[in-house]
Amino acid sequence: MKFKGDGMRAAALRALGALLSAAVLASCGGGQQVERFVPTRVVAFGDENSVIDATSHKKWTVNYQADANTAVDCKLNPIWTQVLATAYALVFPECNTAATPVVSPLSRIKAEAGARSAAVQTQIDSFLLSADGGFAGKDLVTILAGQNDILDQYALVTAGSSTEAQAVAVLEQAGTALAGQVNRVGTAGGKVLISTVPDMGLTPFAIAQGTTNAALLTRLTARFNAKLRVGLINDGHMIGLLLTDELVQALVKAKASITNVTDAACAATAALPDCSTLTLSTLVTPTQATPPTASTLGAWLWADSPRAGTLEGTHLSPAGHAQLGSLALSRAQNNPF
């Protein structure tokens, strides 16, 4: 299956700047909306990239915290699903913290930190059995998973416990299975925005691993994403595809408004979700002459720092989430949902 939009992406890349997100818009089937689609709720499945902790209100990016005496403000530095929901005046219960909270918000986060792509099926099963269960035509469903699958297989290959060919086979099967869950939601009535996994070979983690291993991570990401894409039903009335891997590649190549695409914004001691604007990196590097601050954070693409013995250093900053959220909103508005 081939998704349309290559010409649009090429034209947008020439424009870049404010149109950078359009560089990677691609739709399942294409077409124009006859009537503007306005969802009544957003339901998020996947991994930590779509999670807001219900107790601490923290997210797996750089949380906004005004000072040491105040808690994080989850409304600020939103993750991509929040950007999308906010555009439709919707909120998630995990961040219903306005002075006048929304009464009984309908949107739901079913994504889980650390989830692998196979967990999406369990998340959907659980949702369907809940009081909120069932998908309707005004449900906007987001799915982003697979990052942790890729990192798992990478760790096995570099440890000598698996080969690249074996890892590719596992990831291709996982991508195909995730596509099946996307199709399941679409045929059940939900309008799905499915995101490819960001290119793990461009992350601070990958850079710290060296050129050879970074290339391996890019190849593993590409195989998962390829099988995910080819397995989707090519019907833009049900499914909208977000090419987040291409978005990240374009951002790294352009270095436009987001100028630091290699360093992490968070200090190495601040593992997610415990990084905030009070725990930003103070390191000076060849690409980071001036460390980030709360006011300049928009210039950083990545949030967490790589740490020895971990797979950390792979999550988007608030600026990265803003780009992905804009991409998602454009697709929701342009697909014939």
Predicted confidence pLDDT, tens digits, the chain (337 residues)? 433 344 433 433 443 444 444 444 444 555 555 578 999 999 999 999 999 999 999 999 999 999 999 999 999 999 999 999 999 999 999 999 999 999 999 999 999 999 999 999 999 999 999 999 899 999 999 999 999 999 999 999 999 999 999 999 999 999 999 999 999 999 999 999 999 999 999 999 999 999 999 999 999 999 999 999 999 999 999 999 999 999 999 999 999 999 999 999 999 999 999 999 999 999 998 888 899 999 999 999 999 999 888 899 999 999 999 999 999 999 999 999 9
Q: What is the pLDDT of residue 30?
A: 52
Q: How far apart are CA 153 and CA 161, in angstroms?
A: 9
- Superfamily of the domain at 24-245+318-334: SGNH hydrolase (3.40.50.1110)
Contact 303, 198 (CB under 8 A): no
Q: Is the peptide bond before 273 cis (omega within 30 degrees of 0)?
A: yes
What is the tens place of the pLDDT at every residue in 138-166? 999 999 999 999 999 999 999 999 999 99
Q: What is the pLDDT of residue 285?
A: 84
Residue ranges per structural domain of the chain: 24-245+318-334
User: What's at 50, amino acid-wise?
Assistant: S
Pure H helices in the chain: 6-15, 80-87, 119-129, 147-158, 164-187, 204-209, 211-230, 244-254, 318-334
Q: How far apart are CA 264 and CA 70, in angstroms?
A: 24
Token pair in block for residue 73: 């403000």
Residue that is written with structure tokens 């798992």 in the block:
152
What is the tens place of the pLDDT at every residue in 267-326? 999 999 999 999 999 999 888 889 999 999 999 999 999 988 889 999 999 999 999 999
Q: What is the pLDDT of residue 7?
A: 41
3-state secondary structure of 227: helix
Contact 147, 103 (CB under 8 A): no
| Sheet bearing 41-46, strands edge to edge | 108-109, 41-46, 139-144, 191-195, 239-242
What global pTM score does this model have?
0.90
Q: What is the pLDDT of residue 120?
A: 98
